[in-house]
Amino acid sequence: MKNKYIINAFAALLLMIGLTSCDNRELVQVDNSAAPIAMDLSAEHIFLDKNYPDNPALNVSWTQAAYTVPVEVNYKIEASKDKDFKTPYVLGTVAQSLRTATYTVSQLNTAAQTIGLTKNIEGKMFLRVISALGANQIKAVSNVTTVNVTPYALEYPNFFLVGAASYVGWNSGVAQALYKMDNFSYIYTYLSQESFRFLGQQAWSPINYSIDNPGTDAASRYFKQTSANIVFSDRENMKFTGAAGIYKIEINADGAVQSLNATASPLGFEYPNLYVVGSLNGWNAANAIPMTRKSEGVFELTTTLGANTEMKFLGQQAFASLEWGNILKNNNGNSGFLGPKEDNSNIVFNGNGGSYKITVNLKAGTYTIE
């Protein structure tokens, strides 16, 4: 019995020692002891040739960031037009403690123009490397180095609208093209409270564009900013949440922006009458030429058109609120896209004096002359 008491007392003593050890245990603290240093760039002057977009253009390498205990380090490579990196552009990220990164002609050109370098003119690009642990913890910034880059004009993507929210539904073969001007793309067209996305071609593959959201397929994440009426829908699509009607869709494909906005148009699409006015009738709105209504929002007229014929479409035989022309202000031409009053210009068509059929689709936001 005495031995039993001795054993129990010894066990209690061990337990007390263990608890004391737990209370006084030391936490392992990780600190950065040296920033990563961008040691080498593969070139000082780079002329970017758009004929070889996939060729290597620049290799960046740096020394390892040192931490007080062995840890896996992630690196982010940033570019900027100024040495203070007021608006940095992320060239890329490197994980698993790698310390080198190579960028193609196309990647470096996108970076150069995004930070504001001028096409076909050599400009200075500032570079730096930022090290971090895990989810951007314990950051350290390298020294800054430079490379002189001559970028070429960026070619911005084409966008085609498709989906239940759109005028064409889920038919990729007739997905609606947008009017492109530099980095902006536009269309005035019908949207309803359904899902949609953009394609890079009138087919489902290879390119799809959707909202930049963790739930979206990685290859389709594109739009960094959207208007409040456009939200995540599923892994492939966005959803439009506004009231059904005609909206101005505007995309800014600038690499630093990549925004998508849908703004309600002042005009609808279902009107009983549509007329043509312009140089073919002396711009006499009171005698504007009536078109034939073919279906909801669709009108046609067959008439003779000569060289440099200018015209617009009216919803009444007067210059009033119901007016459509070539999309955007100060943009005379023959784009095939409609813009409402206050956001249109004259349609200019070079006919040969023969007979042409004019078709207007107010719901799709398009017109054709053929």
Least confident stretch, 144-148, 296-300, 324-328 = 144-148
pLDDT of 99 reads 81
pLDDT of 98 reads 73
pLDDT of 141 reads 85
What is the DSSP code string of 242-310? S-SEEEEEEEE--TTT-EEEEEE-S--S--S--EEEEGGGTT-GGGPEEPEEEETTEEEEEEE--TTEE
Count of CA atoms in the C-beta half-sphere (13 A) of 181: 12
Least confident stretch, 10-19, 77-86, 315-324 = 10-19
Whether cis (ω within 30° of 0) applies to the bond prior to 206 is: yes
Residue 15 in this model has a pLDDT that exceeds 90: no
Residue 29 in this model has a pLDDT that exceeds 60: no
DSSP state, residue 349: E
Which residues are bridge partners to 221 per DSSP? 210
Mean pLDDT value across residues 146-151: 94
Count of CA atoms in the C-beta half-sphere (13 A) of 159: 28
- Measured distance CA(122)–CA(146) in Å, rounded: 12
Return the closest-CA partner of residue 224 out of 191, 196, 252: 252
- Measured distance CA(11)–CA(15) in Å, rounded: 6
Strand pairing of 221-223 and 208-211? parallel
Residue 353 exposed, middle or buried by CB count within 10 Å (0-12, 13-18, 19+):
exposed
Which residues are bridge partners to 290 per DSSP? 275
Q: How confident is the model at residue 122 (pLDDT cuts 50, 70, 90)?
A: very high
Question: Do residues 198 and 253 make contact, with C-beta atoms less than 8 angstroms apart?
Answer: no
Q: How far is CA 110 from CA 104, 114, 116, 123, 149, in A?
A: 10, 6, 10, 14, 11
Radius of gyration of the chain (CA): 31
**Can you say whether the dihedral through the CA atoms of 70, 76, 79, 85 is positive or negative?**
negative
pLDDT of 40 reads 66
pLDDT of 111 reads 92
Mean pLDDT value across residues 124-142: 80
Strand pairing of 160-162 and 195-199? antiparallel
Per-residue pLDDT reduced to its tens digit, 333-347 = 999 999 999 999 999
Q: How confident is the model at residue 5 (pLDDT cuts 50, 70, 90)?
A: very low
Mean pLDDT value across residues 57-86: 81
Per-residue pLDDT reduced to its tens digit, 245-284 = 999 999 999 877 899 999 999 999 999 999 999 999 999 9
pLDDT of 30 reads 36
pLDDT of 108 reads 94
Which residues are bridge partners to 74 per DSSP? 132
pLDDT of 73 reads 76
Q: The pTM is what?
A: 0.71
Residue 27 in this model has a pLDDT that exceeds 50: no
Coil vs helix vs strand at 171: coil
